[in-house]
Each structure stands twice: as structure tokens, then as C-alpha cells.
Structure 1
Amino acid sequence: MPHPSSRITGIIPSGKDGWEVHFLAMTRRQAGEDIIMLSVGDHDFDTPSETVEACVRAVRDGFHHYTQLPGIPKLRKAMADVSTRSTGCITDKDEIIATPGGQAALYAAVQAVLDPGGHAIVVAPYYATYPGTFRAAGAGFTVVETRAEDGFQPNVAAIEKAVEPNTRAILINTPNNPTGAVYTRKSLEGIAEICIRHDLWLLSDEVYWTLGGGEHISPRSLPGMAERTLVLNSMSKSHGMTGWRIGWVTGPTSLIRQLVSLNLVTTYGLTDFVSHAATEALENDYGVKEIAERYAARRTVFLDAVRGMNEVTVRGSAGGMYVMLDVRAVEPDCEKFAWAFLEKERVSVMPGISFGDAAKGHVRISLCQPEDILREAAERLRRFVSTHRSKAA
């Protein structure tokens, strides 16, 4: 057969994307094993019933047709209103383009600001799809690692040092997946100053903005940044709608207008009835407060359960849906730790290395399980670390 394009084969060059532990654990669980799944950020509860009923009504009311490429006007208006709240900047619907989920928003933003051969800077740990998204655009990137000992806050001096003549963008994520770190105003101001001085775009992934600890600060609100910031958002986490695939990009009107052309040749718009249900969910904040409270409570339960655990340290973990554990004192190789934990205690966690070298020696714990299961997982973890002996020790 003919060869596939290098564009496709180069997205994940090694063929290994860090999800191997999760996929095996899922297979074993589906076969009937008692495995606790803490390796994926998908809610263990259904979408709020109000949103579901809104979708049913939209189907019955005949919303079965093509939609406008940037998203139906009511949806974009609702997204703009949420963006006004989340970023602190008054936002018009013409500064919004709707996308099928947060990943499509990321893809659109990268395609919008980077040409083949261009360069970006990515602050790590990062969400696992970031590198592949840059490769799909034919762009290079430099990873700037944060330090666990600094609470995974960005190192502004290291970001400055990574700027190259062909650098066009910086990508950040706060509240952060996988660490749960919430970037401080000082960190964001330092990054903003670099963007302004070097005339760079800032891609700000804020899909966990409702699940942060304390005040959410969007770099779009900082002086001089609205014109050069693309904010990526999604209803997946905030509204309990992971499978509905609704996200959006907020940015300057002129760039958003150009992104409509990308939708023309990719998504060709969103699903009609889903768009109407999403509009109602955004306008009424269906589930937002309850979901945020649920994850805050789960974070507290799990952190209380692991407090005082020998040789395991919590890093970051102020927001989002995850807790990051430093397990280097138990097992320096986090992949080996994850495989052994699955085998001995039947708990699935994500190796930190899946999210970049900054998270080496860590594992990510998803809080997408009820509190009693999180307590049981913590008990299995305590038992595991008390008996595990690294072969490298």
C-alpha cells in the first residue's frame, strides 16, 4: 500500500504516548478484575439532568441541521459571557469560535499562530496531547520544565532563555493538568512581559478554571495581553460534559475570523441540538457549582488520607481534578511504580513522565472516583509503599 504522510506518522513518532498503563488497566477491569481507575480525567457521574433535558428538547424541536461555522450566535454569546467572567475581560461573541471540545480548540489555536518550521515554548508538566498538536502543525517546540520543589510554578528566566528567533508562541495551562498547580499572578506577569517584549502569542489553556483553589487569574486580563492571548476553554470539566465535545477559543476578532476558515475544512460546524443544549447549560451554569464543590471535597479527602505517608510527597495539587504525588523516594522510575502498583494493588495511575520530564518520579492521581473509593485507593497506596523496594535502591 502507499505510505501514509509524515504529518500523520510524526504526531507520535515513538508510537508510545504514556497511556499504556491506563489502557491495560481498563482492559483488565472490563474483564471483571477489581481495579480502581485513577488514571483518567473523566467524570464518574453523568452530565447534569438539566443539560440532558435541554438536549432532548432541542432534538424534539427539530434542531437537526447544519450550524454556522463559528458556532450558532446564541452559543457564542453564552461562551463570551463565560469568558468575560473567567478572564476578567469584557468579551464579545465575535471574539469567540466554538470547537468540538478543548482539544479541537488547542489544535485550532496552534494552527492559527504557527507556520511549519515555527517554534513554540511549552511549560511542563503539560497535558499529554500538546507535543503531538505542535507536530501536527509542522512546528518545533522547546519544553521548559518547572520544578516540583517550587510547586510546579513556571520559571520565567528559563522561558526567556528558551526564546529563539523563530519563536511565535508560548503555551501554558492553569489550573494545571497533571499537577493541579495554579499559576500565581507573579508567574503570569513574568510570562506576559516576555510575550510583549518578543511579540509572541500566548496560548492559555484554562479548561479547569472553575476547579482551581482560590481566584482564577487569566493572563488575558493583564495589561497588553488581550491582543496576543488565545484562551482555550471547554465544557468538559466545568459542566460535566466530556462526551459532548464542546469547547471554544477566545481571542482577537481578526484572528477568530480567520479561524472560521479552519472550521470550514475540518469540523464544518458543531452538532445543532448539542449546541442548543450547551447554550442553555452555559446560560444557567448547570452543575458548575456542584461539580467544583465535589472535586474540592474529594481533593481534601484524598490529601487527608495520604497525609503522613512515608516517602510520598504531594506536589502542586491546588486545583483541577488531580493530585500529583512525588514517589521518587519509593521508586525513582514512575513508570515502574505505576506498573507495580497496578500489578500488586490493582490501582491504575498515570506515570508523571507521560506529561514531560518535569513530572519524572511522580504519579498523577485522578479524583474522578467517589470518596470511599479514593480512601480505599489511598489505603492500597499506603500498603504498597510500605512494602515496595526499588531494584535501583
Structure 2
Amino acid sequence: MRISNKLSRIKPSATLTISAKAMDLRAQGREIISLSVGEPDFGTPQHICDAAKAALDEGFTRYTQVPGIPELRTAVAEYFNSYYGTKATLEATMVTNGGKQALYNIMQALLNPGDKVLIPGPYWVSYPAMVKLADAEPVIVPAGADKGFKITPEDLDAAYTADVKMLLLNSPSNPTGVQYTEAELYALAQWAVDHDVFVISDEIYDRLIYAPAEPVSLAPLWEKHPEHVAVVNGLSKSFAMTGWRLGFVLAHPDLIKAMSKIQGQSTSNVNSITQKAALAALNGPRDFMATMNEAFMRRRDKAMEIVATWPGVVCPRPDGAFYIFPDVSALYNEKMPDSTTMCTVLLEEAGVASVPGAAFGDDRCVRFSYALDDETLITALNKVGEVILP
């Protein structure tokens, strides 16, 4: 069979590969603890599930408008208005099949062959692949643990060429959990505006923030420079709705129209039942977020305490999301010379699934998720320590 040349540039998802191997070991009867999962371990709140059931009972099962039903697009606009003080309307919003499709749609709408996209590293595994699928070139701007996993405008200056057309920011970050302060994030975004570079701000973890840190969004900057900024978000993480696949976008109305054209010729509308559930999520109570955040912050602190006992390991303290991304390169040896090998050994010998930092652009690190109960988390990290420590 003849496969498109474009796909030869795309690697399979490392997180899915690890998950598949973990499932194989479970099928063989092995007890495996997964620290590789990128989703909350909390169930979707009941009022959201009830809204989905009601939509089914009411027969809301037909096609909808491609960018989303009007009341949901209005609720998306109000999300940004209420949290970040914007004055967005539905024309500047749309809903997508997860935040991933929102990112994909924007890149397909704005990038041309030969364009370059600046991506801070470490990065989420899908960013470079999406850029390549748009026939553009990812340019990684690295910042290791020694820099707190944060880039600066000076780093962007060093990476900039005339072909750079886009900057992709993610705060809080997957895989590091690190969040830029408002001053830091806006300095990066303003650099892009000044250089006529379009900014995508991936804010999928924007409500999973741990005190004293506070949520930061580029939504206000979008309002000032709508032709240069788009904000991507969704319900997967903060609303514990990963499987529902509902992302949303705040962007210039002309870009929304272009994205809707792409979505109309690919997936069309988001599942109608999911849209009704999303409406209940955005318009309903959000007290469950505080409960989740309290649990995640407690687990983060427990994880950091354990990792701090590993000699030579450096791990910047995350302010959001539910990952730690320690630099474990001081523990590499002949048996475990890199992150991929280390994760394979951890899976086979400790029965713990993790994700190699190489998948995120930093082979010195390993990503552990703390989106699981306290006792299991502590057990898993202690097992990791037993294997990797000399």
C-alpha cells in the first residue's frame, strides 16, 4: 500500500506507545501502576452527565452548526469574559473535537509550506507533528530544568528568522507543570506581536493552578490584538471530561470562519450530546474544581518530597497541571543510558508506566503524572526509586 510521504515525518505518540505496552503486561497478569496518564482520575460531575442524558431523552441527536450551537459558543465567550475580563461574543469562538483539533485547525488555516513555528521545549508531544502536518517546520526553543523550563524573549530573538510565522505557548505546561507568570507570558506574547508572529496560547490547564500561583491567560491580549492571538482551551482537564472531546477557541472572527471551513470538510460538528453536556459544564457550578485542585496540590507535594530524595535529580516545582518532569540524567548508567530505556526498565522491573522525556524534547527527563490516589502514587514512586537509585 502506498502511504503519503507526509506521514513519514510523523512519529507515533510516545504516550500511547507506553500505554499499549502497559496494557500488554496487564494482559499477561502483571500488576502495573500507570504514572503516564494525562487525564484527571476524577469522574465527570453529575450535573454534566445529567445534561447529556437529558439531551438523549429529548432527541438532540442530529447534526448541528459546524462551529457549535449558538448557546454553547456564547457560553465559551462568557468563560473568557467572566474569568479574564474580555468582551468576547460568539463570533469569536467555536468548539472542536477536543483541544487537539482546535490547534490542528488553526495551524491548517494559518501556516504555509516553508513557514516556521517556534515551540518552547520541553513541549507536548503532538505540537511538532501538527506543525509538520501543516507543511511547516517546528523550531524548538529549549529551556531545561536549570532554567525552570522557561524561555525568555532573548531566547526567541536567538531562534528568530524571517520565516517564523507562529509561536506556540503552553502554560501551565505539559509535560513540566510549570506556569509562566503574567509578566513572563505577556513578554513572550508581546515579542511575537512586535515581530508580526501569530501566537497560539494553549491554556487547557488554566484552572488547574495551585496557590499561591494564579491563572493567567492571553485572552486580554487577544482583545487588543485579535489578528495576532488565538487562545485554545477545553473541558478535558479542568472539567474532568477527557473522553467527551470538547475543545474551544477564542480567535479573530475571520480565523473562526477559516477554521470552521476546515472542520466542515473533516469532522463537521462536535457530537451533539457532548455539546449539551459542555453547555451544562460552562453554565453550571464549578465547586468541584476546588476539590480536584486540593487533591492535586497535595499529591504534587508528596511526589516532590519523594523525588527530592533522589540524589542529583533536579525537578522544578510545578504550579499547575498534574505532572512532574524531573531531570534524572544524573542517574543514567549503562543499564539506563537515556529516558526511553529508563522508562522501559521502570515498566518491566518496577511495574510503573511513565513517559520518556525524549518524547517531549528533553531526553534528560522523565514525566510522571500524579493524577491518581495518594497511596498508589507514593507506592509507585517508591518502586521507581528502588530501581533507579544506585
User: TM-score category by the smaller chain?
Assistant: over 0.9
Relative to structure 2, which stretch is displaced further, 139-148 or 296-305?
A: 296-305
Match of 2:271 in 1: 271
How much does 1:42 deviate?
2.3
Matched, 1:179 2:176: yes
Helix, strand or coil at the partner of 1:249: strand
Deviations 1:143-192 (A, max 9, x none): 10012112111132121222222221100100000001101233223212
How much does 1:66 deviate?
0.4
Q: Go from structure 1 to structure 2 and tell me whether the alpha carbon gap of 1:33 and 1:125 turns closer, same or farther (over 3 Å shift).
A: same
State which of 372, 375, 381 in structure 2 corresponds to 1:372: 375
Letter of the structure 1 residue corresponding to residue 279 of structure 2: T
Tell me how far apart the structure 2 counterparts of residues 309 and 170 of structure 1 sit (CA, whole Å): 35
What stretches of structure 2 of length at least 5 have no aligned partner?
none
How much does 1:193 deviate?
2.7
Match of 2:206 in 1: 209
Number of aligned residue pairs: 382
Match of 1:4 in 2: 3
Tell me how far apart the structure 1 counterparts of residues 121 and 86 of structure 2 sit (CA, whole Å): 27
State which of 123, 126, 130 in structure 1 corresponds to 2:127: 130
State which of 46, 66, 70 in structure 1 corresponds to 2:63: 66
Letter of the structure 2 residue corresponding to residue 320 of structure 1: A
Q: Is the CA contact (8 Å cut-off) linking 1:238 and 1:288 kept in structure 2?
A: yes
Relative to structure 2, which stretch is displaced further, 122-131 or 146-155?
A: 146-155
Tell me how far apart the structure 2 counterparts of residues 305 and 211 of structure 1 sit (CA, whole Å): 22
How much does 1:18 deviate?
6.2
How much does 1:292 deviate?
2.4
Letter of the structure 1 residue corresponding to residue 373 of structure 2: P
Tell me how far apart the structure 1 counterparts of residues 94 and 125 of structure 2 sit (CA, whole Å): 24
Tell me how far apart the structure 2 counterparts of residues 29 and 79 of structure 1 sit (CA, whole Å): 40
Q: Is the CA contact (8 Å cut-off) linking 1:102 and 1:232 kept in structure 2?
A: yes
State which of 92, 96, 104 in structure 1 corresponds to 2:93: 96
State which of 334, 338, 342 in structure 1 corresponds to 2:339: 334
Matched, 1:348 2:353: yes
Tell me how far apart the structure 2 counterparts of residues 30 and 284 of structure 1 sit (CA, whole Å): 40
Match of 1:306 in 2: 307
Helix, strand or coil at the partner of 2:326: strand
What stretches of structure 1 of length at least 5 have no aligned partner?
388-393
Tell me how far apart the structure 2 counterparts of residues 17 and 383 of structure 1 sit (CA, whole Å): 24
Letter of the structure 1 residue corresponding to residue 338 of structure 2: D
Tell me how far apart the structure 1 counterparts of residues 8 and 91 of structure 2 sit (CA, whole Å): 36
The TM-score with structure 1 as length reference comes to 0.92
Mapping of residues 188-227 of structure 1, within 5 Å = 188-213=185-210, 214-222=213-221, 224-227=224-227
Helix, strand or coil at the partner of 1:379: helix
Q: Go from structure 1 to structure 2 and tell me whether the alpha carbon gap of 1:40 and 1:16 turns closer, same or farther (over 3 Å shift).
A: closer
Letter of the structure 2 residue corresponding to residue 113 of structure 1: L
Q: Go from structure 1 to structure 2 and tell me whether the alpha carbon gap of 1:312 and 1:10 turns closer, same or farther (over 3 Å shift).
A: closer
Q: Go from structure 1 to structure 2 and tell me whether the alpha carbon gap of 1:108 and 1:316 turns closer, same or farther (over 3 Å shift).
A: farther
Matched, 1:319 2:320: yes
Match of 1:255 in 2: 255
Matched, 1:162 2:159: yes
Match of 2:388 in 1: 385
Tell me how far apart the structure 1 counterparts of residues 74 and 290 of structure 2 sit (CA, whole Å): 21
The TM-score with structure 2 as length reference comes to 0.92
Match of 2:48 in 1: 51
Q: Provide the aligned C-alpha RMSD in A.
A: 1.9
Q: Is the CA contact (8 Å cut-off) linking 2:204 and 2:237 kept in structure 1?
A: yes
Q: Is the CA contact (8 Å cut-off) linking 1:239 and 1:291 kept in structure 2?
A: no
Tell me how far apart the structure 1 counterparts of residues 209 and 201 of structure 2 sit (CA, whole Å): 15
